[in-house]
Amino acid sequence: MLPSHNRFAYSPITDRPDFAWPEGRRLALYIAVAIEHFPYNEGGLGLSYSPGLGHPNTYNWAWREYGNRVGAFRLLDLLTGLDIRPTVLVNSECYEHCPQLLAAYRDAQTEFVAHGRTNGQHPNGLDLEQERAVIREVYNTMERVEGFAPRGWMSPGANPSANTEDLLAEAGFSYTLDWPMDDQPTWMRTQNGPLLSVPYPHEVNDVPAIALHDASASAFAEMTADTVAEMLDQSAHESLACGIVIHSFIVGHPYRLRRFRAALEQIVVDRDRIWFTTPGEIAEHYVREIAPAPSNGQDRRSRA
């Protein structure tokens, strides 16, 4: 047999018990804004719009910083103007770097999802104890500032290590966005009890679509609207969860923002059929009403 992660078994979506989201809705939708901070003149560069340049790569650092100074505020105005509660994937360093920005999102009842300490550092580049220390630092920072512990995690660079899920469960996290393999939540096994995987968009995400695959602003907007429309149709057969992820320094630029606004205006027309929510609310409803945590970490819907 091929090597396996051993976190969950295969489960076809057509072979699961039916369920509905609150008020009988069949499609749950969250929109997440990634707010990130990078070290200057050291560490990883992540995505680069100036490949080949070494440190200090001012152009690349400033590209990211535009999102913190301008783009994220424009995206907040867009979401609140359409009565959409934001989700923020936040590097914990942003609490010190741009507290005014996070305060503005907090006022909008945002759910903050832990997104590591900085996107200049990926879990896959750390040993076990280093990663444990980072996860604990992020958890403690968010608990101290927000007044309650974070529930969800998304690894910087979407790049968890083989230990990440075990360490998340150990630290007290209840769900992860690191596994974009399904359109419904999935229970995962860890060494420290079950951890819920909440669907995350692998493609309706401006990093792969725009930064990696060169999609235009119009193409990304069309992709966004088409995905929600198609999944809304599909949800007649199986209730689904859908995420849309945008980065403050990518879609936060004016010409992309304009096209993205048009896509969201098209999507909210179906507000009476879509549960606009956050990944934490998806996880909470799923655990409480649909599939409580299994004692052995194995999703009851899966076939071993």
Residues in the chain, total:
304
CA dist 148 and 54 (Å) reads 39
Nearest to 72 by CA among 50, 60, 89: 89
Whether 8 and 255 have beta carbons less than 8 Å apart is answered as no
pLDDT value of residue 296: 60
Number of domains in the chain: 1
Question: Domain residues for 211?
Answer: 19-39+55-290
203 in a structural domain: yes
112 in a structural domain: yes
CA dist 74 and 105 (Å) reads 11
Average pLDDT over residues 163-182: 98
Cβ atoms within 10 Å of 277's Cβ, excluding its own = 22
Those residues with Cβ within 8 angstroms of residue 204's Cβ, 6 or more apart along the chain or in another chain = 223, 224, 227, 242, 243, 244, 245
CATH code for position 270: 3.20.20.370
295 in a structural domain: no
Whether 152 and 176 have beta carbons less than 8 Å apart is answered as yes
What burial letters (b/e) apply to 94-118, b meaning 16+ CB within 10 Å?
bbebbeebbebbeeeebbbbbbbbb
**Three-state secondary-structure class, residue 188:** strand
CA dist 147 and 262 (Å) reads 36
Could you read off the pLDDT of 17-50 as tens digits, one per residue?
999 999 999 999 999 999 999 999 887 777 777 7
**Three-state secondary-structure class, residue 284:** helix
Position 280 pLDDT exceeds 80: yes
Nearest to 118 by CA among 132, 97, 101: 97
CA dist 242 and 112 (Å) reads 18
Position 110 pLDDT exceeds 90: yes
301 in a structural domain: no
Which pLDDT band, with edges at 50, 70 and 90, does 298 fall under? Answer: low
Please name every residue paired with 183 in a beta bridge, in sequence order, or none if there are none: none
152-153/186-188 β-pairing: unpaired
Which pLDDT band, with edges at 50, 70 and 90, does 304 fall under? Answer: very low
Rg (alpha carbons) of the chain, rounded to whole number = 19
237 in a structural domain: yes
274-276/27-35 β-pairing: parallel
Of the CA atoms within 13 Å of residue 191, those in its CB half-sphere come to 10
H or E element, residue 34: strand 27-35
Whether 33 and 89 have beta carbons less than 8 Å apart is answered as yes
Position 222 pLDDT exceeds 50: yes
175-176/195-197 β-pairing: parallel
298 in a structural domain: no
**Three-state secondary-structure class, residue 187:** strand
Average pLDDT over residues 187-197: 98
Which pLDDT band, with edges at 50, 70 and 90, does 54 fall under? Answer: confident
CA dist 140 and 149 (Å) reads 8
2 in a structural domain: no
254 in a structural domain: yes
